[in-house]
Amino acid sequence: MAVVNRPMQGGGADAYGVKRCDDGTWLITVVDGLGHGARGAEAAHTYLRLFRECSCDSLSALMSAIHLGMRATVGAACMIVQVIPDRQQLLYAGIGNVSLALISSSGFRRAQSARGIVGYRQVRIREDVLAWTPGDRLMLHTDGIALPPEGAESLRYGDPIVSAKETAAAYATGKDDALVLVCTLEHLEAVRIEEEQHA
């Protein structure tokens, strides 16, 4: 798993989290706290604390608990993915502008998020499923990255950290914090995080 995180000056509201559940599944998340300043970073921090502390019972239950726990913050956009190795399935639930794509030899499949803000008013939490096969890659990114509709060639091959770096270099908008996470789904037990900070 590779993460490239490029906060803007005075930013730092984009973040990621990963944890293994007792049932052998993995939870991976990317969050973008609203705004760029300290309040956005605080929202992302609260989000990750809730992500770590809340139980893995179901993805929707986890998202609901996080939504309630975020009420005192400015709110955030997020995506949570549950990787189920035994079934070669991936469950996901997203709210707001964090993008997910599954990249295989045959193409680039994007997933949809629900509208709204985590921690603010009511949100409709929708849980969806995607099938994957060994070799497929998962990519998550915040809205500081603008990918073309057909995806990016840099995401298809090579070491995930090289893919993440090249994608951030080529597609960061430069107007917002930017975070890209890339991983191969069958190698999650060997989690390797590399972060690159750009002031």
In angstroms, rounded to a whole number, what is the distance separating the alpha carbons of residues 69 and 45? 12
Q: Which contacts qualify for 165-173: CB closer than 8 Å, 24 or more apart?
A: 165/4, 165/196, 167/4, 167/139, 167/141, 168/4, 168/6, 168/196, 171/145, 171/146, 171/147, 172/6, 172/144, 172/145, 173/143, 173/144, 173/145, 173/146
Rounded to the nearest whole angstrom, what is the least distance from the CB of residue 180 to Mn ion in the complex? 12
Binding Mn ion (rule: CB under 5 A), the pick from 33, 143, 166, 179 is 143
Nearer to Mn ion among residue 142 and residue 154 (C-beta): 142
Nearer to Mn ion among residue 166 and residue 176 (C-beta): 176
Binding residues with Mn ion: total (CB under 5 A): 4
Rounded to the nearest whole angstrom, what is the least distance from the CB of residue 176 to Mn ion in the complex? 4
Nearer to Mn ion among residue 44 and residue 83 (C-beta): 44
Q: Does 113 bind Mn ion (CB under 5 A)?
A: no
**Residues of this chain that bind Mn ion (CB under 5 A):** 32, 142-143, 176
